[in-house]
Amino acid sequence: MRKLLAGVTLFCTSAFAFQGTAPVPLRGYTPEHSASEVSWEQKYRAIPEADRIKETMRRLALRPHHVGSVYDKDNADWLLAQLKAYGLDARIEEFTTLFPTPKSRKLELIRPDGTKFIPKLEESALKIDPTSGQKDEQLPTYNAFSRDGDVTAPLVYVNYGAPTDYEQLEAMGVSVKGAIVIARYGQTWRGIKPKLAAEKGAIGCLIYSDPKDDGYYVGDGYPEGPMRPADGVQRGSVMDMPVYPGDPQTPGVGAKPGVTLIPLDKVDTITKVPVMPISYEDALPLLKSLGGELVPENFRGALPITYHTGPSIAKAHLALAFNWDRKTLYNVIATIPGATLPDQWVIRGNHHDGWVNGAGDPVSGASAELDEARGLGELLKQGWKPARTIIYAFWDGEEPALLGSTEWVEFHAEELSKHAVAYFNSDGNGRGYFRAEGSHQLENFVDSVTKDITDPETKMSAYKREHLVAIARATPDTRAEVRSRADTRMPALGSGSDYTAFIHHLGISSINMGFGGEDQGGGQYHSIYDDFYWYTHFSDTDMSYGKALAQTAGTMMMRMADADVIPFQFTDLADTFKVYTNEVKRLADTMRAQIKEHNTQIGEGTYAALADPKKKRVTPPVEALTPYFNFAPLDQAIDDLSLAASEYDKAFAAHAATAPAGLNLQLIQSERVLLDPGGLPSRPWFQNMTYAPGFYTGYGVKTFPAIRETIEQKQYATVDTQISRVAAAVKREAELLKSATKTLNGN
Amino acid sequence: MRKLLAGVTLFCTSAFAFQGTAPVPLRGYTPEHSASEVSWEQKYRAIPEADRIKETMRRLALRPHHVGSVYDKDNADWLLAQLKAYGLDARIEEFTTLFPTPKSRKLELIRPDGTKFIPKLEESALKIDPTSGQKDEQLPTYNAFSRDGDVTAPLVYVNYGAPTDYEQLEAMGVSVKGAIVIARYGQTWRGIKPKLAAEKGAIGCLIYSDPKDDGYYVGDGYPEGPMRPADGVQRGSVMDMPVYPGDPQTPGVGAKPGVTLIPLDKVDTITKVPVMPISYEDALPLLKSLGGELVPENFRGALPITYHTGPSIAKAHLALAFNWDRKTLYNVIATIPGATLPDQWVIRGNHHDGWVNGAGDPVSGASAELDEARGLGELLKQGWKPARTIIYAFWDGEEPALLGSTEWVEFHAEELSKHAVAYFNSDGNGRGYFRAEGSHQLENFVDSVTKDITDPETKMSAYKREHLVAIARATPDTRAEVRSRADTRMPALGSGSDYTAFIHHLGISSINMGFGGEDQGGGQYHSIYDDFYWYTHFSDTDMSYGKALAQTAGTMMMRMADADVIPFQFTDLADTFKVYTNEVKRLADTMRAQIKEHNTQIGEGTYAALADPKKKRVTPPVEALTPYFNFAPLDQAIDDLSLAASEYDKAFAAHAATAPAGLNLQLIQSERVLLDPGGLPSRPWFQNMTYAPGFYTGYGVKTFPAIRETIEQKQYATVDTQISRVAAAVKREAELLKSATKTLNGN
């Protein structure tokens, strides 16, 4: 994409004056411009059609379309043809990346008497579900980026395989050294499970879907209901993406032909132990074989058994071998050149590859996105010209490791750093309430758009529905703020979809959005049952929320592309950074208090009092107290930022109409300045100092991660340094806003 | 027992003077007397023997021994013989009460196609468990005091059948009118389930044991583990005991021959609908037959199904008929006349009847109690003479309705009101931590005893173990108080065992105590498996905690019986009453805030926002706000009591050694003054204004119940009146203490 915008020249807008009174113009727009924008946006929102979105889903989900499959390429070609048919400038951008697939999978439970239980490792084709029987094209159930291995060992059950689960097991004297762990899906991102198991000394890892988490406990099993059936399996990547996502052999570099590859045996994001996902039907005999104590209450799933920690007397034998091939990715990219600000890019993306048929994930989002592109194509024909350049991307290879988006971002890093204004992501979509997460300077903007979207079911605005649901679900402690805060709080972005490289590697303001929350779901996730039959029976069955997504995201693209001044708002950002600061301080205080209490109890003899001679319990040692840290630089920077943000707001209110062109170029940098080229401790690819996926959560975000994780991991000596680095990032944001304010004030 | 103490005359103690220094004497004892008491107590605690307690358990649990069974009478005769052999003055006191047993039980599920599922309603005899096969003597699985009935209707699942469960169902538009409800055991006392079901319009009630609550979810099923097996059933009473316990035909009167009986059809504590308990194996097909929506998360058990609310299309047919016979109860009563204060009675009790073999409930407590009696018999032979009269009771008929203890208390009401100092109850006992609940003026006393008891496992004192475990289990908010409060807080008494008539009807200071908490349990409860095999494999297998209970309760009896001044302590009581006051105030404030928020949300349109067109939801109406109540009389009374309690403490410290005999007679009244002869709203039998079993909880205590329940039930108009009545009771306590202080100060 380095040549993406060749031939388009920068067109400077002349100064303009706000005129007229009501209605309140859109932020960053003059009243006249706002009126014409509103009119174009209304025209746009009349275009998306639920039935078209449904037909797109039927087409894209018709056959399995994982990376390297015939239908993956076929879908890319079809998407390209559609975009061209809409009159858009579209092309396919290829990369070639590592993508392992199973060569052989073996699992058996060998009982002391030599008899075996052999799990079937296969999902059933269902007569009622026409695509579930496409066995020839389906990937078998496996975890991508598991290493090869052949291990035999007793089993130990580790709950979700999260750090706190191991703490509980260790207190019970249970070790996983030399064992194969069996963990259940959920809570942490799946790649954390083998990573931590290996760190704790296990030699293999099985991950099963407990019915408590996405099976009959949650809702009726498929095909009577939407939840995972007895032999349903969740495929998925287990690459150590909290270190870096994308092609493991080309970190930081777009995987084009000729690029130097890290040899496979030097790649440290491939798992250290073999790992495989299984169904609960296959897991049940394994779990029944476990001896040892009863598990703690939070370890218990919904299988009709008494859960024990293990180890098992029977031994599990796990043997996995993979084809370590490099496959071609097909990113489909359409561009609408900006009429007046072509070097400012507004980007939209959703992946198109699936693990199998992928109707929910990702086609429900991708088919909405395609109808957005059609809508913008229509507007262009009617004479609409976006000020900024608009890019629509349909990513390939998201499922294995965010491959398509990451390689594209890495390849175009220099251009993107200069030109990208914002990135708007979606993925699977569902029925219910709007939800967005992302950069806090976009909170006001997102609300401004969702106020203009009609919720299909209630006919109130998507904003109002989301807001009222948030009020209903708030705790008595948080409700007053939910009611009164001017803009809806957006959670920060962790990982799990294609925004990752944009926001965390390049510092491009990003949003991830979608509708959902009314239906049970998740039981089809990454299985052969995530298909058209499932989606049209158990999710947004009439695609009215697919249409709402197309209306929402398309409006965002237009409003961001057309604004005279980029409508970022920074008091929300400053306010949220203050919340983060309070959280990391409280984390240190809470840890200190807990350790103090822990040490006191050891001294008092509490562990002796709780000792049950019938159970093994390990009394933990007295621990060093969490020291006090120097938060002063951060407090100072937050105060500076708060002040700078409100000064910017005042200047914006007074002078936005006469803002010089340079202001937008400053605003584009507002997420970039949060980067630190040194990156996060032990993972330099992640450069955004304000948020990142957790090193031990995988999906879940850690805000101010360099501070938070060094405290959590008790690397106390480095905390003050990390505070200073975060403070410096916040300070850069404050300085940027001061400059922007000067620009606005004309001095 | 009206003639229990005939021939014993009051012997007034002369005044005495405290002398000497260390060690700190027992509260209410002179130093010399304390030293001799300590020495006698030490002698006593050397007597109980674990092996004897085990043999007693083997004997008492050898055959089913419910009310009216051959072995119930046989056990009573055997207990009598033992007590006599210990040299005690013992007798059997008989009463005759209603005790229904099944004549016929029928349950079937009739499917639309006419086919039927017929549950087996039978627990399996197990080869490994020798008494489980005593089928000829076992009561069938049933709920005592269910009415007769023959009903056919669809099923609706109501979770635990508690008030909040019905609120959730009503919000979902689910009605039980004309249905048979199926509820799970747990949370509320079982009798609440049919009571509330009938109030809501159901015509029948089934209660099943979900494995989540006492089956494989909690621990391994019997006989591999202690938990309820697939066909295990919990028998139990469903009489409306929160109205009054004891013989339903003789409320308030001891059921001796010749007493006028309320006709059966006028008894309002028999259930309004037929009710029967079933196993989860029998429940499973019924639960699977339920249609309707998914249940809320808190309704879900551990069966491998998706729980639905119902109604079912299939119909359940429940037909029950009972023998409404009156049976003879055999209370075994032993008396040790007091040497110097014979008209002051210290009473100990544990029931001896079981639902079947009843090894855990009640024999684990009863066999410890018997060894206490043996121990005191031994001391008597060695020359010990208790100052006060000691009464040991082995109650019959506790299981159906606290029959034996209630009729005895009602029959001896006049004597007991005059003479009873305190009642010490136990019931089932287990392995682990000491726990007591009861009258707050006894908190200091209970700690003083448990400080002298050695925990069998840790060798620390039972007090210290209990205290440290409480610290470990406290929340960060409550831990500081747990650590620093001079005496251990005792929860107040609700109901569920034989202390009920003592504390709630007659106002006799009471304690319920036992050990437990280390083993999973409850899975054998009220089934044929609660027997010697179960108990000696899965609970206090070597009876070391049976011995500890005998040591603890026996020491309490001695220390209370011998004290020069009854060692009640009232600042604990005043402090706790202040907590109750704050709780009922907070209840009103919280309800008001919740209703206000609820009304606000209706106005905002929150219910409209949450409306899912695929689900039925009922928007609740705007509700009147909880008014403000006049807590001033209660605040004033609490202040008076706090002052009076600390004045009493000061006077006690200065003058207890020279206290005149009249002081004890005042102190005996310290729980009596909390009674109000008008009783609680709509249940006059419960006269204690400070605590009662909840009208809709059954076991669970409600403190200041007249206030709390009128607020909870939104009977706002009467709340101020109830506050005044409770304030008057507290005021009476304050006045009593002022008089006692005067007595101590000699003016």
Residue A601 contacts B, CB cutoff 8 Å = yes
Cis amide bond preceding A456, omega within 30: no
B463: chain A residues, CB-CB within 8 Å: none
pLDDT of residue B522: 87
Residues B491 and B446: their CA atoms lie apart, in Å, by 13
Which of B306, B450, B454, B544 to mutate: most A Cβ within 10 Å? Answer: B306
Task: For residue range A267-287, list pLDDT tens digits in order.
Answer: 999 999 999 999 999 999 999
Can you give the three-state secondary structure of B540-609, one letter per residue? Answer: CCCCHHHHHHHHHHHHHHHHHHHCCCCCCCCHHHHHHHHHHHHHHHHHHHHHHHHHHHHHHHHHHCHHHH
Task: For residue range B277-328, list pLDDT tens digits in order.
Answer: 999 999 999 999 999 999 999 999 999 999 999 999 999 999 999 999 999 9
Q: Which A residues 226-245 touch B at CB under 8 Å?
A: 227
For B331, which DSSP code?
A: E
B593: chain A residues, CB-CB within 8 Å: 476
Residues A405 and A390: their CA atoms lie apart, in Å, by 16
pLDDT over 70, % of chain B: 97
Residue B710 pLDDT more than 90? yes
Task: For residue range B327-372, list pLDDT tens digits in order.
Answer: 999 999 999 999 999 999 999 999 999 999 999 999 999 999 999 9
Residue A304 contacts B, CB cutoff 8 Å = yes
Give the pLDDT mean for A603-624: 92
Residue A603 contacts B, CB cutoff 8 Å = no
Distance from CA of B100 to the nearest CA of A (A): 36
> Residues 6 or more apart from B619 whose CB is under 8 A from it?
B602, B607, B608
- Rounded to 5°, the CA angle B426-B430-B431 comes to 135
- Decide if the complex's ipTM is over 0.90: yes
Determine how β-strand A326-336 pairs with β-strand A89-98: antiparallel
For B491, which DSSP code?
A: P
User: Which secondary-structure segment (H or E) carries A302?
Assistant: none
| Closest C-alpha to A399, from A530, A250, A503, A227 | A530
Distance from CA of B300 to the nearest CA of A (A): 7
Count other C-beta atoms under 10 Å from residue B622's C-beta. 12
Task: For residue range B609-630, list pLDDT tens digits in order.
Answer: 999 999 988 888 999 999 999 9
pLDDT of residue A19: 43
pLDDT confidence tier of residue A22, bands split at 50, 70 and 90: low
Residues A243 and A504: their CA atoms lie apart, in Å, by 12
The sign of the torsion formed by the CA atoms of B96, B98, B99, B102 equals positive
Q: Is B121 helix (H, G, I), strand (E, B) or coil?
A: coil
Determine how β-strand B432-438 pairs with β-strand B510-517: antiparallel
Determine how β-strand B149-157 pairs with β-strand B341-351: unpaired
Q: Answer yes or no: do A460 and B609 touch at CB < 8 A.
A: yes
Q: Answer yes or no: do B306 and A606 touch at CB < 8 A.
A: no
Could you tell me the two tokens for A334? 């359409």
* Tokens 């006690």, residue located: B652
pLDDT confidence tier of residue A698, bands split at 50, 70 and 90: confident
Between A385-394, A608-617, B665-674, the lowest mean confidence (pLDDT) is in A608-617
Q: Answer yes or no: do B610 and A216 touch at CB < 8 A.
A: no
Number of A/B CB contacts below 8 angstroms equals: 108
Residues A348 and B517: their CA atoms lie apart, in Å, by 58
B520: chain A residues, CB-CB within 8 Å: 294
pLDDT of residue A520: 85
B610: chain A residues, CB-CB within 8 Å: 468-469, 472
- Give the length of chain B: 747
Mean pLDDT, rounded, of chain B:
95
Nearest CB partner across the interface for A613, out of B300, B457, B471: B457
Give the pLDDT mean for A440-468: 98
- Residue of chain A minimizing CA distance to B228: A306
Nearest CB partner across the interface for A465, out of B304, B609, B613: B609
Which of B459, B520, B606 to mutate: most A Cβ within 10 Å? Answer: B606
Q: Answer yes or no: do A305 and B216 touch at CB < 8 A.
A: yes
B614: chain A residues, CB-CB within 8 Å: 518-519
A601: chain B residues, CB-CB within 8 Å: 468, 471-472
Task: For residue range A30-74, list pLDDT tens digits in order.
Answer: 999 999 999 999 999 999 999 999 999 999 999 999 999 999 999
Residue B22 pLDDT more than 90? no
Residues A526 and A399: their CA atoms lie apart, in Å, by 9
Residue B563 pLDDT more than 80? yes
Give the pLDDT mean for A644-653: 97
User: Which secondary-structure segment (H or E) carries A493?
Assistant: none
- Residue at B488: amino acid letter: T
Residue B589 pLDDT more than 50? yes
Distance from CA of B469 to the nearest CA of A (A): 6
Give the pLDDT mean for A578-605: 97
pLDDT of residue B6: 32
**Can you point out the beta strands (E) in A63-169?**
89-98, 101-110, 116-117, 143-144, 149-157
Residue A610 contacts B, CB cutoff 8 Å = yes
Could you tell me the two tokens for A726? 């975060």
Cis amide bond preceding B362, omega within 30: yes
Task: For residue range A304-331, list pLDDT tens digits in order.
Answer: 999 999 999 999 999 999 999 999 999 9
A457: chain B residues, CB-CB within 8 Å: 611-613
**Can you point out the beta strands (E) in A142-259?**
143-144, 149-157, 180-184, 204-208, 236-237
User: Which secondary-structure segment (H or E) carries B698?
Assistant: none
Which of A281, A455, A610 to mutate: most B Cβ within 10 Å? Answer: A610
Residue B51 pLDDT more than 60? yes
Residues B438 and A317: their CA atoms lie apart, in Å, by 57
| Closest C-alpha to A20, from A32, A8, A12 | A32
pTM to 2 decimals?
0.94
Give the pLDDT mean for A596-619: 93
> Residues 6 or more apart from A339 whose CB is under 8 A from it?
A11, A385, A386, A387
Which of A450, A460, A606 to mutate: most B Cβ within 10 Å? Answer: A606
User: Which secondary-structure segment (H or E) carries B346?
Assistant: strand B341-351
The sign of the torsion formed by the CA atoms of B62, B68, B70, B73 equals positive
- Rounded to 5°, the CA angle A450-A451-A452 comes to 85
pLDDT over 90, % of chain A: 95
Distance from CA of A399 to the nearest CA of B (A): 30
Q: Which domains does chain A have, with CATH numbers?
A: 31-98+327-562 (3.40.630.10), 101-324 (3.50.30.30), 571-745 (1.20.930.40)
Residue A221 contacts B, CB cutoff 8 Å = yes
Q: Answer yes or no: do B457 and A612 touch at CB < 8 A.
A: yes
The sign of the torsion formed by the CA atoms of B143, B144, B146, B147 equals positive
Residue A619 pLDDT more than 70? yes
Residue B613 contacts A, CB cutoff 8 Å = yes
Distance from CA of B443 to the nearest CA of A (A): 21
A474: chain B residues, CB-CB within 8 Å: none
Give, in order, the Cα–Cα distances in Å from A708 to each of A254, A489, A495, A592, B207: 31, 21, 17, 14, 49
Cis amide bond preceding B311, omega within 30: yes
The separation between the first and the last C-alpha atoms of chain A, rounded to the nearest angstrom, is: 37
* Tokens 């260390």, residue located: B22
Nearest CB partner across the interface for A458, out of B300, B468, B611: B611
Q: Judging by beta carbons within 10 Å of its beta carbon (0-12, 13-18, 19+), is residue B480 exposed, middle or buried?
A: exposed
Residue A220 contacts B, CB cutoff 8 Å = yes
| Closest C-alpha to A596, from A625, A569, A555, A568 | A625
pLDDT over 70, % of chain A: 97
Q: Answer yes or no: do B306 and A476 touch at CB < 8 A.
A: no
Distance from CA of B543 to the nearest CA of A (A): 15
Residue B480 contacts A, CB cutoff 8 Å = no
Cβ contact A510:A492 at 8 Å: no
User: Which secondary-structure segment (H or E) carries A112?
Assistant: none
> Residues 6 or more apart from B630 whose CB is under 8 A from it?
B720, B723
Which of A308, A435, A468 to mutate: most B Cβ within 10 Å? Answer: A468
Cβ contact A651:A744 at 8 Å: yes
Distance from CA of B289 to the nearest CA of A (A): 13
Residues A350 and A399: their CA atoms lie apart, in Å, by 12
Spell out a b/e string for B492-531, using b for 16 or more CB atoms within 10 Å of the CB, else e. bbbbbbbbbbbbbbbbbbbbbbbbbbbbbbbbbbbbbbbb
Which strands, in side-by-side order, build the sheet including B116-117?
Answer: B116-117, B101-110, B315-323, B149-157, B180-184, B204-208, B275-278
Residues B514 and B333: their CA atoms lie apart, in Å, by 21
Cβ contact A660:A15 at 8 Å: yes
pLDDT confidence tier of residue B97, bands split at 50, 70 and 90: very high
- Residue at A152: amino acid letter: T
Give, in order, the Cα–Cα distances in Å from A476 to each of A189, A470, A479: 30, 12, 5
Residue B486 contacts A, CB cutoff 8 Å = no
Residues B376 and B379: their CA atoms lie apart, in Å, by 5
Residues A128 and A147: their CA atoms lie apart, in Å, by 36
Could you tell me the two tokens for A474? 């708030």
